[in-house]
Structure 1
Amino acid sequence: MADAPHNYNEDSIRSLDWREHIRLRPGMYIGKLGDGSSQDDGIYVLVKEVIDNSIDEHVMGFGKTIEVNISEHRVEVRDYGRGIPLGKVIDCVSKINTGGKYDSGAFQKSVGLNGVGTKAVNALSNYFKVQSYRDGKTKIAEFQQGILTKESNETPTTQRNGTMIIFEPDNTVFKNYRFIPQFLENQIWNYAFLNAGLTINFNGQKFFSQNGLLDLLQRKTNIESLRYPIIHLKGDDIEIALTHGNEYGEEYYSFVNGQYTTQGGTHLAAMREAIVETVRDFFKEKFEASDIRASIVGAISVRVQEPVFESQTKTKLGSINMAPEGQSVRSFVGDFIKKNLDNYLHKNKETADALKKRIQQSERERKDIAGIKKLANERAKKANLHNKKLRDCHIHYNDVIKVDKNNPEDKRYETTLFITEGDSASGSITISRNVQHQAVFSLRGKPLNCFGLTKKIVYENEEFNLLQHALDIEDGMETLRYNKIVIATDADVDGMHIRLLMLTFFLQFFPDLVRNGHLYILETPLFRVRNKKDTIYCYTDEERQKAIKKLGPKPEITRFKGLGEISPNEFKDFIGEDMRLEPIILHKDTSISKLLSYYMGKNTPERQKFIIENLRIEKDLANDDNLPLEAGAA
């Protein structure tokens, strides 16, 4: 029981050591925890914190290769840098504010400057081992949840200089966690793109880039669909790549000192503004900013001394000056783009002409839907007052969390929107959900197949328009109200069809949502196996067989055919802390237009032939590496 107010005294005050504080407040150090189903979950931050140190060694000119091996629950990283000074091996991984990055002469433009990252990994791991190889000697230290368990003396070695770190995330902190290979590969590729000449061997595969951000955009786009060749501009401490495609939305990848700033910041804002200003000046026309940026794909990387991020997880760059010159990041980026992009367009007339045609096409499309858009928005505004489709939650992803007036945190609330089919399923979820941060949007039967249609249909179709307004993504991702959009349909043929139709809607009109990891499929149990003492929920037939064996002879077995059959009391267990979500992940070489054309186009005989020749059982289908779009068994 907490102390009563009148018992508040010296005994009520306690000081936590470094590891206790990290374990008590892990979110302060690594952002959200999660189970690995989101690309910004804590287990990926742990991997990043360790690799960042190896990258910093490479940037300083020490080590051209990094070995990374990640199995289901274990991470090993070996670099060939200088190695941690042997006398400080333990301090560097277990004492906050201890490290080599406070001396800016040793690490000029490093990612981690606060001496926290590796300590957080150590404190949040069931097992943590550090081994340094330096000048013919080596030293090892092992830890459990940040507590030193084993230490070796310095011994001779023939190994090359460098550092080896091995850790296993604590499964009491990261519950039911798993590493998703595609998320790890994206992390590793980003390191390769931002460090031309560096080789990273990840689980036996070589990751190497020669052309930096140009290679990144070539990997992220379908070259055939681009309106003009990728523009690639490099300068001192800055690199830019950009082009225009045919898909809706804007797509950006931004980096500071090799750190992927998923929430952008001043450097990305400056890039977006400078592109608009430069294009207007070059063509001497007052194009709308939205027309210039429509369908743009861009990447920016800057390197600055002592970057100021808006949180420990470094996902958003604050407003800083470029020491020692004193120039702001905004003006530094803006001046570079205005000069170099203008020069490029003058030298490449075909690219300039193609860019202008793309802008004019966006202008025509915008004007074409202006009338219907106005009427649809008015209808949506009225419907929002009594929107029967949306059972909203109290807080939203775009609500800003501020620690105090002088320290705006970039942390956001974790919120979820379940998209359900029919009243029975939405009723169960609505009753059992957490009303603080979980909302429900109910579909009326099967939505329209919108493949091949223009964005005009989003405004003409009442259901799509209301969903767009519920998400608040009409003008971009910045105002997104829910960071997890979960398609929750029955595990039958109709449910799968609705799932496919909703995937088509998001991929066709809001691909940014999918690329940025906001779209998921809800996994709910297919079976309930129980006796008088125990109840086991099973998600596959294999789990059902194990449950029958565990519970003994003749247990009661229930097959859930639809979400509406699951009682609210049971449902709350499936959408709570242990909710099973399958993220929708696009493979690097997937063309959205080709993907939708194949699955949703009018090539029925071709699809039929494929199904007959490639029929698999569910567990094989979920593990098929050749599928372009992954979502468990979707």
Structure 2
Amino acid sequence: MNEDNNLINPETVNYDEGNIQTLTGLEHIRLRPGMYIGRLGDGSSAEDGIYVLLKEVFDNSIDEFKMKAGDRIEVNVEDNLRISVRDYGRGIPQGKLIESVSILNTSGKFDSKAFKKSIGLNGVGVKAVNALSSHFEVHSYRDGKVRKAVFECGKLISDVTEPSQDENGTYIYFEPDATKFINYQFHDEIVENMLRNYTYLNIGLTIMYNGRRILSRHGLEDLLKDRMTSDALYPIVHLQGEDIEIAFTHANQYGEEYYSFVNGQHTTQGGTHQSAFKEHIARTIKEFYGKYEYGDIRTGIVAAIAINVEEPLFESQTKIKLGSLTMAPDGGVSVNKYVGDFIKTEVDNYLHIHQDVAEVLENKIKESERDRKAMAGVTKLARERAKKANLHNRKLRDCRIHFSDVKNDRKEESCIFITEGDSASGSITKSRDVNTQAVFSLRGKPLNCFGLTKKVVYENEEFNLLQAALDIEESLDTLRYNKVIVATDADVDGMHIRLLIITFFLQFFPELIKKGHVYVLQTPLFRVRNRRTKIKNKKTIAEADAKSDKKSDFITRYCYSDEERQKAIEELGPDPEITRFKGLGEISPDEFAGFIGPDMRLEQVTLHKTDQVAKLLEYYMGKNTMERQNFIIDNLVVEEDRPEEDIYE
């Protein structure tokens, strides 16, 4: 060992009272935002921090509605950067307005006197919004007066009280701090989907979003109708009781699909209530028929459950997984028993009364049972093969941190890149973060699995190994990677491979896409660079130097479209050097590190209620029909060959 490594750095020796700091609550939030809102992000994912900020504000308005104080909430987004929420509840008590939005552990919800079964309990949420906003305003309208307070990055700028004829309620306006949320944007679709979830859980609530009205008349039944991308085999069973509501049906699809909520909060990672639903719905149906296995009963199920709990315990401040074991803080009935008793009574009664539904349901269970038995032999062999391969799977370069690691703070960063061929996987493997980024290499084009049964998942070695790598054979509960990223070349073959992989997920694991786990990696098509001595714009050089510690002879721009290429040429001219990347394998590992780093461009694969999976797959991946041929002919674009000197300008 080099002796120099044992030398103590003089700068680390001095440690005294001057090193000890005490931060205010809002200062701590700004220093460690991840403790309060999870990841920051740029708004491209529904789990990003800016939506947590909106949720924290909106939850307070929902709590007012739950207390029967105001049935209308207005939400407006300006330029995809700033957002306001106005409710018509009781209004924050004006004498404590400043404290309510700026001092941690200040809340009207620490007991159940003013709020019952609220989602906001810790006196943190709206303070985090204040601290992490470059501009934050709160207005409290009460009894002919309005008190208005303005903050910047958590610091009070102004505080005035004046007469007002407006209805009672609270108005909050905030602009997330762009120094924390880099290049962020509120995406309309994500915000609307979030607000719709609130209306499913709060029948009678009207949300006006940018002038559009959002409401639900049938609660969780509406949710399933809006989210299902396959036809229901029987009418949605919708049952309600005190502090619990469930809805379910079955569809001709593989896997299981669940949506769960606690006190109006969408628990995207489930929890004790969702586990209880899965257990007891299968047990009740099995006892009704007197036979069948739980797995066969749940195959193809699409379901939702919502419960209300006093002082719920969540596994993090972002409240996406319920940890509460009891329905009330003083103990009493467990969540599992409460959910189980309700399902046992109500679902059993429903099936006895609705014999037509019971018949269709049993036929679906029998079909699932036949499919399972038909591939029992091949499934056993495939599992043994996958188990051996997992010990030494040359196609998988695993990472250290996984999404299924319950107690790891970085689990949501875990991802897996699905690549084509060894050259592409080689570049990614050499430049990846081994802690959170895994790589799975395909061997050429995978099988077009449209129209095939799930037996092919076990018979096809690559599909079986991919399923094993993701650990999604039984359900998404054990999913090993939060993001499943398809990384293929930006050419015709790469696009085809991308479609084949997405078809595989749509056919057999649609919930993986519906839960927002599947992405497509956007990689640059061009590299445009020029010697810094040729670049006259000093600002361009300064910006390039600020992004890199290396003062290279070249200033480089990576372009993801022809428009970006043209812009780069204008910025870096004259006579820049232009490289067209034909495949991922052509990009050096050093360059690739930037494309899969914190700023990597991902396009999320989504499904909407108008997307009928079976019809989509039939059209794009089925037999070469005349309809598809005509579409290709009508939309074919033929580009004339350009001379070499024109390409490189």
- When the two structures are superposed, what TM-score results if normalisation uses the length of structure 1? 0.93
Structure 2 stretches of 5 or more lacking a match? 1-7, 533-554, 640-649
What is residue 421 of structure 1 aligned with on the other side?
420
The alpha-carbon deviation at position 118 of structure 1 amounts to 0.6
Q: How do 1:451-466 and structure 2 match up within 5 A?
A: 451-466=450-465
The AA in structure 1 aligned to 2:22 is S
What is residue 314 of structure 1 aligned with on the other side?
319
**Residues 1:368 and 2:367 aligned together:** no
Q: Check whether the contact 2:503–2:617 (CA below 8 A) recurs between aligned residues.
A: yes
What is residue 546 of structure 2 aligned with on the other side?
none
The AA in structure 1 aligned to 2:373 is K
The alpha-carbon deviation at position 609 of structure 1 amounts to 2.2
**Residues 1:132 and 2:140 aligned together:** yes
What is residue 226 of structure 1 aligned with on the other side?
232
Q: Check whether the contact 1:3–1:12 (CA below 8 A) recurs between aligned residues.
A: no
Q: After superposing the two structures, state which structure 1 stretch, 482-491 or 604-613, moved more.
A: 604-613
What SS does the aligned partner of 2:413 have? Answer: coil
What SS does the aligned partner of 2:531 have? Answer: coil
Q: Check whether the contact 1:254–1:261 (CA below 8 A) recurs between aligned residues.
A: yes
- When the two structures are superposed, what TM-score results if normalisation uses the length of structure 2? 0.91
Question: Aligned partners of 1:576, 1:355: CA distance in 2, in Å?
Answer: 47
For 1:583, which of 604, 609, 614 is the aligned residue? 604
Question: Aligned partners of 1:270, 1:416: CA distance in 2, in Å?
Answer: 29
Q: Check whether the contact 2:411–2:482 (CA below 8 A) recurs between aligned residues.
A: no
The alpha-carbon deviation at position 615 of structure 1 amounts to 6.2
Deviations 1:48-83 (A, max 9, x none): 111111111111111111111124211111111111
What is residue 378 of structure 1 aligned with on the other side?
384
* Max Rg structure: 2
For 2:347, which of 320, 336, 341 is the aligned residue? 341
Question: Aligned partners of 2:251, 2:10: CA distance in 1, in Å?
Answer: 61
What is residue 190 of structure 2 aligned with on the other side?
183
Deviations 1:282-328 (A, max 9, x none): 1122x211111111111111112111112111111113323378211
The alpha-carbon deviation at position 518 of structure 1 amounts to 0.5
Question: Aligned partners of 1:425, 1:449: CA distance in 2, in Å?
Answer: 22
Q: How do 1:109-128 and structure 2 match up within 5 A?
A: 109-128=117-136
What is residue 166 of structure 1 aligned with on the other side?
173
Q: Check whether the contact 1:401–1:413 (CA below 8 A) recurs between aligned residues.
A: no
The AA in structure 2 aligned to 1:492 is D
What SS does the aligned partner of 1:311 have? Answer: coil
What SS does the aligned partner of 1:130 have? Answer: strand
The alpha-carbon deviation at position 33 of structure 1 amounts to 1.8
The alpha-carbon deviation at position 614 of structure 1 amounts to 5.0
Q: Check whether the contact 2:427–2:588 (CA below 8 A) recurs between aligned residues.
A: yes
For 2:283, which of 255, 259, 277 is the aligned residue? 277
What is residue 48 of structure 1 aligned with on the other side?
55
Q: Check whether the contact 2:424–2:584 (CA below 8 A) recurs between aligned residues.
A: yes
For 1:561, which of 582, 586, 592 is the aligned residue? 582
For 1:96, which of 80, 97, 104 is the aligned residue? 104
What is residue 629 of structure 1 aligned with on the other side?
none
Q: Check whether the contact 2:401–2:411 (CA below 8 A) recurs between aligned residues.
A: no
The alpha-carbon deviation at position 445 of structure 1 amounts to 1.1
Question: Aligned partners of 1:164, 1:176: CA distance in 2, in Å?
Answer: 26
What is residue 469 of structure 2 aligned with on the other side?
470
Change (3 A) 1:554 1:201: same
**Residues 1:531 and 2:530 aligned together:** yes
What is residue 156 of structure 2 aligned with on the other side?
148
For 1:606, which of 627, 631, 643 is the aligned residue? 627
Change (3 A) 1:325 1:419: closer
What is residue 5 of structure 2 aligned with on the other side?
none
Q: Check whether the contact 1:195–1:212 (CA below 8 A) recurs between aligned residues.
A: yes
The alpha-carbon deviation at position 381 of structure 1 amounts to 1.9
Q: After superposing the two structures, state which structure 1 stretch, 110-119 or 533-542, moved more.
A: 533-542
Question: Aligned partners of 2:189, 2:632: CA distance in 1, in Å?
Answer: 25
Q: Check whether the contact 2:130–2:153 (CA below 8 A) recurs between aligned residues.
A: yes
What is residue 389 of structure 1 aligned with on the other side?
395
The alpha-carbon deviation at position 552 of structure 1 amounts to 2.9
Question: Aligned partners of 1:503, 1:363: CA distance in 2, in Å?
Answer: 26
Deviations 1:339-388 (A, max 9, x none): 00011001000111111111111111111111001111112222222212
What SS does the aligned partner of 1:322 have? Answer: strand
Q: Check whether the contact 1:399–1:413 (CA below 8 A) recurs between aligned residues.
A: no
Question: Aligned partners of 1:548, 1:143: CA distance in 2, in Å?
Answer: 42
For 2:34, which of 17, 27, 32 is the aligned residue? 27
Deviations 1:531-590 (A, max 9, x none): 112211111222122212222322112221211111111110110011110101111221
The alpha-carbon deviation at position 179 of structure 1 amounts to 2.6
Change (3 A) 1:3 1:58: farther
The alpha-carbon deviation at position 103 of structure 1 amounts to 3.5
The alpha-carbon deviation at position 525 of structure 1 amounts to 1.1
Question: Aligned partners of 1:586, 1:499: CA distance in 2, in Å?
Answer: 16
What SS does the aligned partner of 1:154 have? Answer: strand
The AA in structure 2 aligned to 1:446 is K
Q: After superposing the two structures, state which structure 1 stretch, 231-240 or 386-395, moved more.
A: 386-395
Q: How do 1:56-71 and structure 2 match up within 5 A?
A: 56-70=63-77, 71=79
Change (3 A) 1:615 1:166: farther
Deviations 1:431-488 (A, max 9, x none): 1111111111111111111001011001111111111111111111111111111001
**Residues 1:217 and 2:224 aligned together:** yes
Question: Aligned partners of 1:39, 1:616: CA distance in 2, in Å?
Answer: 35
The AA in structure 2 aligned to 1:595 is L
Question: Aligned partners of 2:585, 2:145: CA distance in 1, in Å?
Answer: 64
Question: Aligned partners of 2:150, 2:633: CA distance in 1, in Å?
Answer: 54
What is residue 502 of structure 2 aligned with on the other side?
503
Structure 1 stretches of 5 or more lacking a match? 403-408, 619-634
Question: Aligned partners of 1:556, 1:466: CA distance in 2, in Å?
Answer: 42
Question: Aligned partners of 1:269, 1:515: CA distance in 2, in Å?
Answer: 19
Q: Check whether the contact 1:395–1:413 (CA below 8 A) recurs between aligned residues.
A: no
What SS does the aligned partner of 1:427 have? Answer: helix
For 1:570, which of 576, 581, 591 is the aligned residue? 591
**Residues 1:79 and 2:87 aligned together:** yes
The alpha-carbon deviation at position 413 of structure 1 amounts to 4.5
Question: Aligned partners of 1:258, 1:126: CA distance in 2, in Å?
Answer: 28
Question: Aligned partners of 2:10, 2:18: CA distance in 1, in Å?
Answer: 10
The alpha-carbon deviation at position 36 of structure 1 amounts to 2.2
Question: Aligned partners of 2:475, 2:181: CA distance in 1, in Å?
Answer: 32
The alpha-carbon deviation at position 88 of structure 1 amounts to 2.1
The alpha-carbon deviation at position 178 of structure 1 amounts to 2.5
Deviations 1:250-282 (A, max 9, x none): 111111100111111111111111112211221
Deviations 1:476-525 (A, max 9, x none): 11111111110011111111111111110111011111011100000111
Question: Aligned partners of 1:522, 1:197: CA distance in 2, in Å?
Answer: 41
Question: Aligned partners of 1:381, 1:322: CA distance in 2, in Å?
Answer: 41
What is residue 435 of structure 2 aligned with on the other side?
436
The alpha-carbon deviation at position 180 of structure 1 amounts to 2.8
Cα RMSD between the aligned structures? 1.9
What SS does the aligned partner of 2:149 have? Answer: strand
Question: Aligned partners of 1:612, 1:386: CA distance in 2, in Å?
Answer: 47
The AA in structure 2 aligned to 1:120 is A
For 2:242, which of 230, 236, 244 is the aligned residue? 236
Question: Aligned partners of 1:124, 1:325: CA distance in 2, in Å?
Answer: 36
Deviations 1:98-150 (A, max 9, x none): 12212311101110011111111111112211122221211222222111223
Question: Aligned partners of 2:325, 2:388: CA distance in 1, in Å?
Answer: 43
Question: Aligned partners of 1:257, 1:126: CA distance in 2, in Å?
Answer: 30
Question: Aligned partners of 2:35, 2:92: CA distance in 1, in Å?
Answer: 26
Question: Aligned partners of 1:235, 1:435: CA distance in 2, in Å?
Answer: 48
Q: Check whether the contact 1:100–1:106 (CA below 8 A) recurs between aligned residues.
A: yes
**Residues 1:489 and 2:496 aligned together:** no
What is residue 449 of structure 1 aligned with on the other side?
448
Q: Check whether the contact 2:315–2:323 (CA below 8 A) recurs between aligned residues.
A: yes
Deviations 1:29-53 (A, max 9, x none): 1112222232211111111111111
What is residue 269 of structure 2 aligned with on the other side?
263
What SS does the aligned partner of 1:500 have? Answer: helix
What is residue 541 of structure 1 aligned with on the other side?
562
